[in-house]
Amino acid sequence: MSGLTKSELLRRLEVAGVRPSKALGQNFLIDANVAQRIAKLASGAGGRRYIEVGPGAGALTVALAPMAEAVLAIEADRYVIPILFDVLAQREISNVRVLHQDVMDFSWCNELDQGESYCLCANLPYNIAATLIVRILEEVPSIDRLVVMVQDEVGRRIASDPGTRQYSGVSAKVAYWATTKIAFSVSPSVFFPQPNVESVVIDVTRRAVAPISEATYGLFSDIVKAGFSRRRQMLRRSLAGIADIGILDSVGIEPSLRAERLSYLDFLKIAEALVESDRGRE
Ligand code: SAM
């Protein structure tokens, strides 16, 4: 199966009169080896179902489809979809279903088969990558793995550990749901147009989390948000109004620490202690 080369992409964009859109984060992959590497990493035991967000002209889709039982490709740009159909038809690929849709408005429960598990594999548009990854982990349990290319800075932030410079609210939230590995780095030279920054491919695997109530998860999110929105402040200040010193003491967390030192389990302990203390007051 031949990959999408730079000359084929440029020719097809020109014929269709499509200019890459910055707003849609359109940096198209023009290196078939990189596409193959991503698809191989995503392919698990074989015969799996994949979701690709933003297939564009199909550089990654043509690598993924032969390894898949089925691919659901969700693309927001109606102008690139005819190119994608053409690329797939020319390669006689028939297991890709293309939906013209903004993924941020996508109705996951209506479109995904209940009881199936999916891997999301994509070269994600940079402006929605972090938000989408967190949303999928929170709201779409049937997606149990994400193998995605993102900006280097975003990937490192998502995969970072407590106490590191990149550790943030997104890191803590993703860590609650999943384990993340940085698989490999990708140079700007393999995209058209070339972005200004490096990219990385990350491998996010959903973990089996102990069920907690929506209220506890809501508190966990609020605490993470409050802690990192004032990351230079000690917890006793940044969490004032949510969790007092008594709560922090009760779970053995030093109020003079900053949020960047806490693991997702620490944030969870604070949320659970708050729920318990509310119960005690009822
Ligand atoms: N997969 C292609 C490749 O690797 O060459 C294109 C990747 S490009 C970085 C991102 C793609 O996501 C573009 O095709 C863009 O139109 C699409 N896109 C951007 N925002 C989107 C959204 N909200 N929903 C669905 N697709 C989106």
Ligand 1 test: best mutation among 28, 78, 154, 192, most atoms within 8 Å of CB?
A: 28
Ligand 1, atom 11: closest residue by C-alpha: 54
The residue among 267, 262, 260, 264 whose CA lies nearest residue 242 is 267
- 171 & 46 share domain: yes
CATH value at residue 236: 1.10.8.100
- 118 & 12 share domain: yes
Position 1 pLDDT exceeds 80: no
DSSP for residue 261: G
Give the per-residue pLDDT at 281: 67
pLDDT digits 0-9 by tens, 20-54: 999 999 999 999 999 999 999 999 765 589 999 99
Name which of 61-65, 145-149, 203-207, 228-232 the model is least confident about.
228-232
E-assigned strands of the chain? 28-29, 48-53, 68-75, 96-100, 118-123, 143-151, 178-186, 191-192, 199-206
- 42 & 173 share domain: yes
- For residue 109, tell me if it sits in a domain: yes
The 3-state secondary structure of 144-194 reads: EEEEEEEEHHHHHHHHCCCCCCCCCHHHHHHHHHEEEEEEEEECHHHEECC
| C-beta separation of 269 from 249 below 8 A | no
Position 79 pLDDT exceeds 80: yes
| C-beta separation of 238 from 227 below 8 A | yes
- For residue 45, tell me if it sits in a domain: yes
- 58 & 166 share domain: yes
Looking at residue 106, its amino acid is: F
pLDDT digits 0-9 by tens, 132-153: 999 999 999 999 999 999 999 9
Position 276 pLDDT exceeds 90: no
| C-beta separation of 51 from 121 below 8 A | yes
- 64 & 135 share domain: yes
| C-beta separation of 204 from 223 below 8 A | no
**Domains identified in the chain, total number:** 2
Range of the domain at 117: 6-206
- 195 & 220 share domain: no
- 139 & 14 share domain: yes
CATH value at residue 158: 3.40.50.150
- 46 & 132 share domain: yes
- 200 & 142 share domain: yes
- For residue 252, tell me if it sits in a domain: yes
| C-beta separation of 32 from 63 below 8 A | yes
- For residue 86, tell me if it sits in a domain: yes
Ligand 1, atom 8: closest residue by C-alpha: 26
Cα(113) to centroid of ligand 1, in Å? 23
- For residue 1, tell me if it sits in a domain: no
What global pTM score does this model have?
0.95
Cα(75) to centroid of ligand 1, in Å? 6
Q: How far apart are CA 199 and CA 37, in angstroms?
A: 14
- For residue 129, tell me if it sits in a domain: yes
The token pair at 182 is 């940085």
For CA atoms 51, 197, 193, 34, the dihedral sign is negative
- For residue 71, tell me if it sits in a domain: yes
